[in-house]
């Protein structure tokens, strides 16, 4: 998946995750686990601390073969992006408002990852 940079919260805001809801005293997080990837050539890209600047980043809705998706509307300099350096089997837990996306795979192996969302008490 080398889709556009996005925040998973935007899917919720668009109504594309209708079963996701706010639960008092709990916060929703994402766990992303690379199963097969090269942390230097094919991993997750993030804009560090973007979840703390929610009003700075906006999204637009794009149409894809698999339906509508949010995509960052801001112009992003490549120096703002950081490729996460976690080897396969090392999970990354992040806020639903963190701007992220899959990097272009420059390795010789297919990138395989797993992700899920969970609630944690505040």
- pLDDT tens for each residue of 56-86: 999 999 998 888 999 999 999 989 999 999 9
Which pTM was predicted? 0.89
- The confidence band for 2, taking pLDDT boundaries of 50, 70 and 90, is low
Euclidean distance between CA atoms 96 and 102, whole angstroms: 15
**What is the per-residue pLDDT for 19?**
77
Spatial separation of the C-alpha atoms in residues 106 and 58, rounded to whole Å = 28
**pLDDT mean across residues, the chain:** 91
Q: How far, in Å, are 5, 15, 24, 26, 42 from residue 106 at the CA level?
A: 18, 33, 42, 38, 6
Residue pointed to by tokens 């998946």: 1
Q: pLDDT confidence of 18, banded at 50, 70, 90?
A: confident
Share of the chain above pLDDT 90, in %: 76
96: left (phi over 0), alpha (psi -120 to 50) or beta: alpha
pLDDT at 4: 86
pLDDT digits (tens, 9 = 90+) for 19-39: 787 788 999 999 999 999 999
In Å, how far are 12, 29, 67 from 64, measured between CA atoms? 18, 25, 5
Q: Are 8 and 70 in contact (CB under 8 A)?
A: no
Question: Does 1 score more than 70 pLDDT?
Answer: no
């Amino acid at each position: 998946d080398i889709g556009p940079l996005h925040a998973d919260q935007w899917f919720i805001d668009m109504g594309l995750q209708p079963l996701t809801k706010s639960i008092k005293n709990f916060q929703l997080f994402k766990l992303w686990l690379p199963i097969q990837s090269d942390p230097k050539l094919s991993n997750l890209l993030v804009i560090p601390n973007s979840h703390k600047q929610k009003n700075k980043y906006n999204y637009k809705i794009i149409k894809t073969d698999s339906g509508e998706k949010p995509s960052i509307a801001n112009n992003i300099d490549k120096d703002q992006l950081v490729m996460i350096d976690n080897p396969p089997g090392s999970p990354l837990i992040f806020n639903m408002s963190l701007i992220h996306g899959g990097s272009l795979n420059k390795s010789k192996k297919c990138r395989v990852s797993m992700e899920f969302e969970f609630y944690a008490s505040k």
